[in-house]
Amino acid sequence: MARKTKSIENEYWSRINKTFDYIENHLEHQFTLDELAGVANFSKFHFHRIFMALVGETPFHFIQRVRLERAASMIAMKNHESISEIAFKCGFTDISIFSRNFKNHFGRSASLYRKEKFEISNLSQQESNTEQNTDRSFIYFCQHTKTIKWRTNMELNKSVEVKELPKMTLAYIRHIGPYKGDEKLFERIWNKLFAWASPRGLIGGPGFKSLIIYHDDPNITEEDKLRMSVCITVPPDTKVDGEVGKMEIEAAKYGVARFELTGQQFQQAWDWVYGQWLPTSGYQPDDKPCFEMYPEEPKDGKFIVDICVPVKPL
């Protein structure tokens, strides 16, 4: 009976995860309850209650929160875009409603939020330039790959380049809640995903990749609402069930920075990519998911990892 109950719970979460993915991929869209219930394959009369019980907020509270957090992230990083432009891109059709909701959520106006983030960013950059000159990067042209690469003096970094990554179909298990530094959590989810994939012949083979996608900015979203997905690439026609979901990442240009890290050094690597490399690269973050990709098995407590940040020219 316990196993059957768990199976039903996993099926419910699978449907809610499909709704998450649909919302995130169409954030500028104006959703209806019928539409979201259809994505989750629930009756509209039950969908609202089920979503609230599992997620802890209503569908439209979730949508509004994700829109506001996406807008906050863009406001902090994209000084060349007006706040109105960002609000509309995030699905707000009325700038006055956006402004009021932003202030209610973050406790300050969007313009003051941008000003504070800009000042913090400048201060961090000055401190970084003073204390970590050895972490700077230098551009060069690679004759072998015919691409621009960056040579860095950061001890943990092995290489940085900007390249087009192909479209990928991913099978995933999603976690909602705190995850920073919790190696046991990641190990448990990886084991569960591989236990599902191995009997289906989905491990290994040409082009096989394993990834972790971070859907929310941990500097903005509350810890208990953070979403991350542990993923493997699968053929597009792969059937999934229960807590294993399926999604696609479109082909796009990414800054790909390779590191060799212990479990406690991931935050340092991410901070370097965003604080050191990105501001001097000539690129800005694009509005797509960022992720970690693991080209090798971990050895002796060390991980080889590619931190992949979607980019576009400034």
> 177 and 108, same structural domain?
no
Give pLDDT tens digits for 46-56: 999 999 999 99
Dig out the tokens for 306 from the structure: 């590619």
Q: Which is more confidently placed, 183 or 231?
A: 231
Q: How many structural domains are present in the chain?
A: 2
pLDDT at site 296 = 86
d(CA 97, CA 67): 12
pLDDT at site 291 = 95
pLDDT at site 63 = 96
pLDDT at position 301 over 90: no
| Assigned domain for 138 exists | no
| Assigned domain for 119 exists | no
- For residue 226, how far is the Cα from the chain centroid? 10
Q: Across residues 120-145, what is the average pLDDT? A: 58
> 80 and 214, same structural domain?
no
> 288 and 221, same structural domain?
yes
Give pLDDT tens digits for 68-124: 999 999 998 888 889 999 999 999 999 999 999 999 999 999 999 999 888 776 655
pLDDT at position 194 over 90: yes
pLDDT, averaged across the chain:
88
Task: Look up the domain containing 74 and give its range.
Answer: 2-114
> 168 and 109, same structural domain?
no
| Assigned domain for 240 exists | yes
pLDDT at site 147 = 66
| Assigned domain for 134 exists | no
| Assigned domain for 97 exists | yes
| Assigned domain for 256 exists | yes
- For residue 30, how far is the Cα from the chain centroid? 22
In this structure, the chain runs to a length of 314
What is the number of other CB atoms lying within 10 angstroms of the CB of residue 258?
A: 17
Label residue 251 by pLDDT band (50, 70, 90). very high
pLDDT at position 213 over 60: yes
> 273 and 174, same structural domain?
yes
Nearest to 70 by CA among 43, 54, 49, 92: 92
Q: Supply the DSSP string of 148-163, one letter for each residue.
A: EEEEE--TTEEEEEEE
Nearest to 310 by CA among 270, 230, 268, 256: 256
> 164 and 98, same structural domain?
no
> 166 and 46, same structural domain?
no
pLDDT at position 205 over 50: yes
Q: Which is more confidently placed, 158 or 236?
A: 236
Q: Across residues 285-304, what is the average pLDDT? A: 88
CATH number, domain of 80, equals 1.10.10.60
Dig out the tokens for 112 from the structure: 């003051």
pTM reported for the whole predicted model: 0.83
Q: Which of 82, 114, 146 is the last residue of a domain?
A: 114
d(CA 262, CA 265): 5
Q: Across residues 278-283, what is the average pLDDT? A: 87
pLDDT at site 131 = 47
Q: Which is more confidently placed, 234 or 299?
A: 234
- For residue 106, how far is the Cα from the chain centroid? 21
pLDDT at site 126 = 53
CB 98 within 8 A of CB 71: yes
Nearest to 305 by CA among 214, 174, 196: 214
Q: Across residues 254-283, what is the average pLDDT? A: 90
Q: Which of 79, 114, 149 is the last residue of a domain?
A: 114
CATH number, domain of 211, equals 3.20.80.10
| Assigned domain for 140 exists | no
> 292 and 199, same structural domain?
yes
> 172 and 105, same structural domain?
no
165 SS3 class: strand
> 64 and 199, same structural domain?
no
> 40 and 179, same structural domain?
no
Nearest to 231 by CA among 168, 301, 141, 159: 168
| Assigned domain for 152 exists | no
pLDDT at position 14 over 70: yes
> 309 and 165, same structural domain?
yes
